[in-house]
Amino acid sequence: MNIRYTADELAFRDEVRAFVRQSLPADIATSVRLGKHLNKEQHQRWQRILSTKGWYAANWPVEHGGTGWTVVQKHIFQEECAALGAPRLISFGVNMVAPVIIKFGTEQQKACYLPRILSGEDWWCQGYSEPGAGSDLASLKTRAVRDGEHYVVNGQKTWTTLGQYANRIFCLVRTDTDARPQQGISFLLIDMDSPGISVRPIITLDGEHEVNEVFFDNVRVPVQNRIGEENRGWTCAKYLLTHERTGQAGIGTSKAALAHLKQVAAQETCDGRPLIEDPLLRAQIADIEMQLMAIEMSTLRILAAAQAGGVPGAESSILKIKGSEIRQAISHLMRKVLGPHALPFVEAELNPAFAGEPRHADYSSAPASEYFNLRKLSIYGGSNEIQKNIIAKMMLEL
């Protein structure tokens, strides 16, 4: 047994590290570290940098412009980027719809969509959740009725992340209402500028506009925009849900957040001493760091199995639960370390372009907002309760 990366993998890691350190624009790194709300331009700029390097579509096969990396390399890339403060890639295009198109799409669809994702021309969003459905994805109600060479789509999607930036949306729609819930669903690609689509912002408790409702009012979608067979969309959805789930734990992100927490705790004081020297706080940080080490080891074990051809099962659910708990715990401590300075809510300071004097310190503007925003981690993508149901069913057969 050996928990260390191979020499090749270490060399790869160093290459990634060097590249990211050199290429990640300072304004973007700062925005990420301080928890500011990244804007569209920043996301696109970082995507372009990776795309130019040929590293944007890390998970694609080489023939479509991907990297051809091993499972471990993909992991190293993802975690190094996160740990060095790069923004999380907006995955809806490159890591969600693209793998589905590659797996189930026609040659024409591949030729049409993949290059536009690579180049950043298309910004995709996801039309899965519906009001009243929550974790019960298969209960969706948005209908698509065939009308010649089109589907006519009516209904509503919700929690559509960054839908306000998107020019395309991939949707699960019901094409057969008589079938059992998980059947009769189709997977459609829809242009956001189609007549009949409207987008309404959902403002979350932290004041952020990150998610949206998307309404479909007699939206006509060409049949050729369907991926896979009619009524077999659940297959695509399931493929997407199980595709590349090793990044669930968000270890790199948590590492970066923990490092930042320590820095801030070394600057904030209580009783004339840096807070990092407070035994109770220090113990809480140590506890989290050790938990993080544990899920990192668990992740490596799953990776090694995946490298050898295994398909990660409900272990991903464990990582998702623990990963979200750890990330939330860090954001909780970050808020606490700031004491009263966590209270001010000055939205202007959350803008990456903010150039004024910060209220208390540059690091104190965002943590409370971020803490509330991150409540989502245990809710979306299958709530932690749903994940435990999955563990009980799949791993324990209860």
Partner 1 sequence: MDFNLTEEQQMLQDTVARLVREQYGFEAREGFYRSEVGFSTAFWQQLSELGLTAVPFDEALGGFGGGCVDNLVIMTELGRGLCLEPFLHSQIFGGGLLQQLANPDQQQTLLPQVVSGELQLAVAFEEPQSHYRLNDVACRAEAVEGGWRISGRKSVVIGGDSADRILVSARTFGEQRDDSGISLFVLDPAAEGVSRSGYPCIDGPRAFDLLLEKVFVPSGAMLGEEGQALGALRYQQGRAIAAQCAEALGSMEEVFSLTLDYLKTRKQFGRPIGEFQVLQHRMADICSELEQARSMAIMAACVADEPDSDDRSRRLTAAKYIVARAARFVAEQAIQLHGGIGMTWEYSLSHHAKRLVMLSHQFGDDDHHLGVYAQLMQTA
Q: Interface residues for its own copies in 245-284 (CB under 8 A)? A: 279-280, 283
- Chain positions 117 to 136 lying near partner 1, rule: CB under 8 A, are 129, 132-136
The answer to whether residue 3 forms part of the interface with partner 1 (CB under 8 A) is yes
Q: With contacts defined by CB under 8 A, how many residues of the chain interact with its own copies? A: 3
Give the angle subtended at the CA of 254 by the CAs of 285 and 85, to the nearest 5°: 125
Contact assessment for residue 358 and residue 349, using Cβ atoms and an 8 Å cutoff: yes
388 binds, among partner 1, its own copies, none (CB under 5 to 8 A by kind): partner 1
Please spell the DSSP secondary structure of 50-95, one letter per residue.
HHHHT-TTTTS-GGGT-----HHHHHHHHHHHHHTTPPPP-HIIII
206 binds, among its own copies, partner 1, none (CB under 5 to 8 A by kind): partner 1
Give the integer Cα–Cα distance in Å for 123 and 273. Answer: 48
- Chain positions 11 to 70 lying near partner 1, rule: CB under 8 A, are none
52 binds, among partner 1, its own copies, none (CB under 5 to 8 A by kind): none
The answer to whether residue 376 forms part of the interface with partner 1 (CB under 8 A) is yes
Q: Which stretch binds partner 1 (CB under 8 A): 44-52, 160-168, 206-214, 238-246?
A: 206-214
The answer to whether residue 379 forms part of the interface with partner 1 (CB under 8 A) is yes
Which tokens hold the place of 125? Answer: 């969003």
Please spell the DSSP secondary structure of 355-371, one letter per residue.
-S--SS-GGGSSHHHHH
158 binds, among its own copies, partner 1, none (CB under 5 to 8 A by kind): partner 1
User: Could you tell me the smallest distance in angstroms from the CB atom of residue 121 to partner 1?
Assistant: 30
Residue burial 59-95, b: 16+ Cβ < 10 Å; e: rest: bbeeebbbbebebbbbbbbbbbbbbbbbbbbbbbbbb
The answer to whether residue 164 forms part of the interface with partner 1 (CB under 8 A) is no
Q: At what angle do helices 40-53 and 7-23 cross, to 10 degrees?
A: 140
289 binds, among partner 1, its own copies, none (CB under 5 to 8 A by kind): partner 1
The answer to whether residue 79 forms part of the interface with partner 1 (CB under 8 A) is no
Contact assessment for residue 50 and residue 364, using Cβ atoms and an 8 Å cutoff: no
Give the integer Cα–Cα distance in Å for 9 and 369. Answer: 37
346 binds, among its own copies, partner 1, none (CB under 5 to 8 A by kind): partner 1
- Chain positions 273 to 332 lying near partner 1, rule: CB under 8 A, are 275-276, 279-283, 285-287, 289-291, 293-295, 297-298, 300-301, 303-305, 307, 315, 318, 321-322
Measuring CA to CA, how many Å separate 179 from each of 150, 172, 176, 232, 269? 21, 15, 6, 11, 62
* Member of 159, 216, 234, 363 binding partner 1 (CB under 8 A): 159
Residue burial 97-129, b: 16+ Cβ < 10 Å; e: rest: bbbbbbebbeeebeebbbeebbebebbbbbbbb
204 binds, among partner 1, its own copies, none (CB under 5 to 8 A by kind): partner 1
- Chain positions 332 to 351 lying near partner 1, rule: CB under 8 A, are 335-336, 338-346
Give the integer Cα–Cα distance in Å for 218 and 239. Answer: 29
Contact assessment for residue 86 and residue 77, using Cβ atoms and an 8 Å cutoff: no
101 binds, among partner 1, its own copies, none (CB under 5 to 8 A by kind): none
Nearer to its own copies, 3 or 280 (CB): 280
Q: With contacts defined by CB under 8 A, how many residues of the chain interact with partner 1? A: 93
270 binds, among partner 1, its own copies, none (CB under 5 to 8 A by kind): partner 1
User: Could you tell me the smallest distance in angstroms from the CB atom of residue 292 to partner 1?
Assistant: 10
Give the integer Cα–Cα distance in Å for 391 and 116. Answer: 38
Nearer to partner 1, 111 or 270 (CB): 270
The answer to whether residue 206 forms part of the interface with partner 1 (CB under 8 A) is yes
User: Could you tell me the smallest distance in angstroms from the CB atom of residue 388 to its own copies?
Assistant: 16
295 binds, among partner 1, its own copies, none (CB under 5 to 8 A by kind): partner 1
User: Could you tell me the smallest distance in angstroms from the CB atom of residue 213 to partner 1?
Assistant: 10
Nearer to partner 1, 108 or 396 (CB): 396
Task: Write the burial class of residue 272 (CB in 10 Å: 0-12 exposed, 13-18 middle, 19+ buried).
Answer: exposed
Backbone phi, then psi, for 287, in 5-degree steps? -55, -45
Give the integer Cα–Cα distance in Å for 159 and 199. Answer: 11
Which residues contact its own copies (rule: CB under 8 A)? Answer: 279-280, 283
